[in-house]
Structures are given as C-alpha cells and as structure tokens.
Amino acid sequence: MKRQRDKEETSSDEIISDNIDVDTEDISDEDNEGTISSAMSDCETFDQKEAQVQYEIGANGYPRQIWPEIDPIYESDTSTEDPVNTVGNIPMEWYDDYPHIGYDINGKKIMKPATSDELDKFLNNMEDPDSWLSVKDVLSQQNVKLSDEELEIIRRIQMGAFPDPNYDPYEPTIEWFTSKPEVMPLNATPEPKRRFVPSKWEAKRIMKIVRAIRQGRIVLGKTQTPKPRYYSLWTDNDKPREEHIMQIPAPKIKLPEHDESYNPPAEYLPTDKEKEEWEKMDPDDREKNYLPQKYPCLRAVPAYGRFIQDRFNRCLDLYLAPRMRRNKLNIDPESLLPKLPNPKDLQPFPTSITLSYDAHKGRVREFSIDPSGIWLLSGSDDKTIRMWEITTGRCVKTWDMDEIVHSVAWCPNKDICAFAVAISNKVIIISPPAVCDDETTNLTAQYVVSGFNTEKNEKQMKLVEWIKPSTEQGDGFLVIVQHAHNKVIKQITWHRKGDYFATVAPDAGSQGILIHQLSRHQTQQPFRRTKGMVQRVMFHPIKPLFFVATQTFVRIYNLVKQELVKTLQSGVKWISSLDIHSMGDNIIIGSYDKRLCWFDLDLSSRPYKALRFHSKAIRSVAFHKRLPLFASCSDDGTIQIFHGMVYNDLLQNPLIVPVKILKAGHEVVNNLGVLHCEFHPTQPWIISSGADHSLKLWT
C-alpha cells in the first residue's frame, strides 16, 4: 500500500510538472531580462496556489481536484437578498387582516413592512426626484424602481406599439410542415390481405337486415312515432292524455340541507343526550325523521333505509294535497289605499300640552267638565275631589272623602249647579257654593231637597235609601243615595235633561244598574237579571234609548216600550269604555285588547271600522259635542286624536282619519297610563288624567 501511495504521488507530481513545464529553450538570450523575471514570479505564485489545492484519484483513475465546502450561511449569494414571497398569483386582500403578507421558501412568515400615511408619502415624493419611476410591488408590499428597459416597455404600450422593439409582425411565415404532397409513403408496410377480401361479418349483418325487410319487421320509409314518456300502468291505451285546462304542476321536493351530507360539520352532529331524546319522541312530533351521521368516505355510506317510506309519503302528498289556482292581479298597491285628506285641512284639533293640574297624590281615575266649560272636577285615589278653573289651572275647592273616589259627573242641566260623586256604595249630590251665585245655589237646593216630601214605597226602600246630610258631613252636600248592596259603584252617567242619572256596580248582580230620579228621589231597577257583567251604560242624547255594554256585547233598550231594540256584536274580548255621537247614530267602544270599534247603528250590528293604533289596553274613548273629533287613551301613555265626520246623507259613510298622536304627557306608572279623557264642550281642547297623579290640558 505504501508503494502504491508513493507511486500515485510520483505520478501526480509528474502531471503537475508537465503542466507547469516551461520551455526555456524557446527564450533567446536577446529577450529582456524583465520578461524572464516576471515569468518566474508568476510561476512562484502559481506554485503557492497549487500547494493549497488538494487532489484525489477519481473513479476513472485520474486525479480530480477537491474544492472547499461552501458555507450556505455566510457565503451564499441569497443570504443578503430580501425573502421572496412564494404565495403565488392570488388576491393579496386575503392577507389584509393578518400581520404578514405571505411565506418565504422556507415556510416562514414574511411580515408586513411599515406603512406610512399620506403626509409621509407626499414628503417622500417631494424629496425624491425619482419617485415617479417607482411602482408598488403587491407581493412584497414595497415600492420598486423601474429600470430603463421597463420604462421603455411602458412607453411603447402607451403608444400602442409592440412591447418588444425587435418584434417584426411582418416577417415571412416559417412553414414547419410543408404543403407539398409527398410522393413516397411514410412507411413501406405492405397492405394486408383483409383489405381485398369481402368481410363475412358484414355479409351476415346485411342478410339479417334483408330477412327483416322481407318479413315486414322493417318497413322502409316509415317514420317511427316516439313513445310517450309516461304511460298508463293499468290500461293498454298508450295515447298521451291532454293536460287539463286547470292543470297545476306538482310541488318540488325540498332540497337537502347540510346535515343530510355524508360528512356534515361537527356542529350538526347530535350528542348522545340529543339522540336519546330523539328516539324517545313520537315519530309525529320529531322535527326531522332522521339523525345526521358521519361517514369516512362516500363508499361507506349504506343504502337509505327510509326510501320506501319517503316515496310513499311523497305519493300521499301528491294525491291528497288540495291545490287551488290563484290568478295574480297586477294592481298598484297605492290604488288600494283610501285617499284620505291632509290632516292640516282637518284642523282645529288638539296638538300640544298647555296646562298641567298637579295637586293629587293618587291616581286620577275620572273627571268631569261642567256644561259651561269653565270648571273641572277630578276624583282621585287620595280620597279627595278637586275643582279646577280650566283656563288658569287654579284649584278652587277641595273636598275630603272617607274612601276612594271612583267616578264624578257634572249635571248637564245648566240651571242646576250640582254634580254627583261615587264613593264605595254611595252617591253624593254636591252643589259647590263658591262657584255658583246665590240664586242658582238656592234653586239647586230647592230642586234637590224637594224630593224628600215624596212618598217612598217598600220596593224602593229595598234598593236605595235617600239620606239628607248634615252640615258637618261636608260643604255643599245636598243628598246621599245609600245603596242596599255593598259593592263599589264604578260609573255615574246623567240623562241629557239632568233629572235622571244611572249608576253601575259591576259586582252587584241584578242590582248592578239602577236609574235614579233626582227631583222626586225615586229609584228603579230596569233589569231583573243582567246578561253578563256590566261595564258601562249611557243614555241616548236624543231618543229614549239606554245603552248597556257588557264584556263583549252592547245592548240597546227602549225605555218607553221596555224592550230590547238591537244587540251590537263588538268582536272584542273585553269592553272598557263607551261613548255616543251627539247625533245618536254612531257609537264608539274601547277594549282592553287594544282595539277601538266604530258602530253605525243604521248600517249593521257589527263594527263599521276596527282601529288598532294603541300598543296596550284602551281605557277611555270620547266624542266631541260639536266638532267632528273623537279620541282614545291607553295604558301606553298616548292619546290618539281622530277626525270623524258624520254626514246627514245616509248613503255616505262616515269619514274616519287619524290626525294626531299626543305623547310625552303622562308617565306610565305600574303599567297604567292615561285613565280618562274628555273633550271640552265648546273648544277643540281635550283633558286627560293618568296614573301619574296629574291632569293635562291639550290645545
């Protein structure tokens, strides 16, 4: 081995010496000595370089040079270059919500460079004279300066020329395939024998067709009629049936959803508890007749187990489904809306709050305005009755009662200055002394007190007792009507002449409605038995009719003939209030189920209009005595003002137009809003009371 290594070293030295041999004989003595010295120095430098180079014997038996290893970290040419974004040609807005813009060749994230605002861009453009030569690279998110060649390409594109200046569009065509036919074939394979011998298979096929023609199974020149796609299963008549004139196509099957996939998302897969609940449910109660399942691949999906059942249910749907053809009409929706007048043309009506009467400490359940329109009476849960001057809001008089005041009503007779108050099972007739003059006060006292001289029968004594109050009981008290029942009286309503008034106690049964005569101190029970719980009663403003509103019906009785005239079917669940138009042919009712119904007595026993503008129960409705206005108040704290014109022509229906919603007047306290509303007898004003212990004047 040592001899072989010495031999290899000797051979390598010979190769090196051969390579660096210098023919000194070719150099003459006459040459410059500098040339020889430079050549010698070059040889020495070459010897030093060759001393650093290492060699080894290659596979072919010759020595080959061993180069030093390259460190990719420090000597690589790409170590100082910017990382190249390898995301490819994709929309870069996909990376708008991420801090990086892509990945380099090693899979590392390339972070977004710092971006400057518009001011920095403007300053850079002003400082850099070559800023117009740069464009933004979308992949690297940086500005790249264009070279001269790229600028020349852009300039040629703008001029409409070819980007490549060396491209010649008119150069001669290079015929890669010649158009001249070749004389010699491409191959010299001899033709096979079957090219010249008749085919036996074709002969058999032709003879088969000939026999079919001879037997008549194939008729030449006959056109084949296509068979129908759908045919009758039970008859041999395959003629297609003509579609019926009212043919309706079958409805399409519902498209599958995501949970019907063989590989649905995880959120569609039920848990074990949901599976158990689904299995325990009745099949008719299940929302879906299947459970979502997941399979690894489509080949693992088994056959559908409910195929026969689904097909059968589909046939039942097609067979039993009732269908109806509806003709679609092209109608302008605006033409269906009634043409209502502009609310500005229907003025005057109350629009804003003017005064607030604040002195009560409890709910103001009801109030009443005197016939002259100057004074206002209010009764509250704080067991007081207050008299107000409407125009100034001044409290003139206050009466303290023993119990809650449920109802107050001023006598409509202008010659008498008195009002009635309902407290528990008593009705008190009071004449305010500070309001009326002495003559009117004396006339009122004589009119009321004269009834004590009339005789009372035993039947009347069982219903009520007329008691003469003492001076200590109250200022202005004229008479107290003590009812025999112990139920609360909720309403007092007067006849238009001011001599009769009716009281309503819903829980008193047959004695719930009583009619009293003030001048003679007489009381009568008009009904032996009431049909349902009575809510409100009213006298007709012109005719001797009496309106009784129960929970769902309004019955009209003739007091002279003592018979039922008409029954109005309201269609509401619970009637809360009632009012009659001044002409007497129209009435409105409010209900606790948010509806207001207008009845035309000459038209029908059902509502002419049913309005639903409130979001909560309606507490009170009211007509204006002179103007074509009516209103409704509700627990939602609002008052709806309507224009309701009633025409003398019986062929023309009433005109009902909503004109105003009065808001932000009363606060809603314990789900109670506006409890009562009433129009001024002469002015287009309305007064309201609420559960917030106040009264409001709207003008």
Mean pLDDT calculated for residue range 294-300: 91
* Among 450, 664, 622, CA closest to 538: 622
CA distance 666 to 664: 6
Tens of pLDDT along 431-460? 887 777 778 778 888 787 777 777 776 666
CA angle 319, 323, 329 (to 5 degrees): 160
Burial of 520 (0-12, 13-18, 19+ CB in 10 A): middle
Classified as helix, coil or strand, 547 is strand
Q: Calculate Rg over the CA atoms of the chain.
A: 55
**Are the C-beta atoms of 162 and 169 separated by less than 8 Å?**
yes
pLDDT value of residue 3 = 43
pLDDT value at 602 more than 90: no
What Cα–Cα distance (Å) separates residue 154 from each residue in 130, 157, 291?
16, 5, 63
**Are the C-beta atoms of 580 and 547 separated by less than 8 Å?**
yes
* 543: Cα separation from own chain's centroid: 51
Percent of all residues in the chain with a pLDDT value above 70, rounded to a whole number: 86
CA distance 157 to 159: 5
pLDDT value of residue 79 = 45
In DSSP terms, which residues pair with 523 in a beta bridge? 516
Q: pTM of this prediction?
A: 0.55
pLDDT value at 75 more than 60: no
Tens of pLDDT along 105-144? 888 998 888 888 888 888 888 888 888 888 888 888 888 8
pLDDT value of residue 14 = 41
pLDDT value at 78 more than 70: no
Tens of pLDDT along 151-187? 999 999 999 999 998 888 898 888 777 777 777 777 7
Identify which has the larger pLDDT, 23 or 570: 570
What Cα–Cα distance (Å) separates residue 639 from each residue in 451, 613, 632?
42, 10, 6
CA angle 262, 267, 271 (to 5 degrees): 90
CA distance 451 to 670: 44
Identify which has the larger pLDDT, 10 or 521: 521
pLDDT value at 10 more than 50: no
Classified as helix, coil or strand, 480 is strand
Identify which has the larger pLDDT, 476 or 134: 134
pLDDT value of residue 16 = 37
pLDDT value at 232 more than 80: no
Tens of pLDDT along 658-695? 888 888 778 888 888 899 999 999 888 999 998 888 88
CA distance 585 to 603: 10
pLDDT value of residue 11 = 43
pLDDT value of residue 255 = 87
pLDDT value at 372 more than 60: yes
Query: In 417-531, which ranges are continuous DSSP H helix?
Result: 438-449, 458-463
Read off the pLDDT band of 207 (50, 70, 90): very high
Read off the pLDDT band of 52 (50, 70, 90): low
Mean of per-residue pLDDT scores for the chain: 81
Q: Identify the top-confidence range among 49-53, 474-478, 554-558.
A: 554-558
Mean pLDDT calculated for residue range 195-209: 92
The set of residues, in sequence order, having a beta carbon less than 8 Å from that of 216 and lying 6+ positions away, is none
Mean pLDDT calculated for residue range 241-260: 77
**What tokens appear for 357 in the block?**
């009467």
pLDDT value of residue 231 = 67
Least confident of 80-84, 316-320, 392-396, 428-432: 80-84
Identify which has the larger pLDDT, 633 or 129: 633
Classified as helix, coil or strand, 314 is helix
**What tokens appear for 184 in the block?**
């010699």
**What tokens appear for 523 in the block?**
């009381």
Read off the pLDDT band of 18 (50, 70, 90): very low
pLDDT value at 147 more than 50: yes
**Are the C-beta atoms of 481 and 466 separated by less than 8 Å?**
yes
CA distance 138 to 91: 9
CA distance 274 to 267: 13
Tens of pLDDT along 335-359? 887 777 888 888 888 888 888 888 8
The domains found in the chain, sorted by start residue, are 1-82 (no CATH), 261-297 (no CATH), 347-359+536-699 (2.130.10.10), 401-530 (no CATH)
* 64: Cα separation from own chain's centroid: 84
pLDDT value of residue 220 = 84
Mean pLDDT calculated for residue range 610-629: 89
Least confident of 48-52, 295-299, 390-394: 48-52
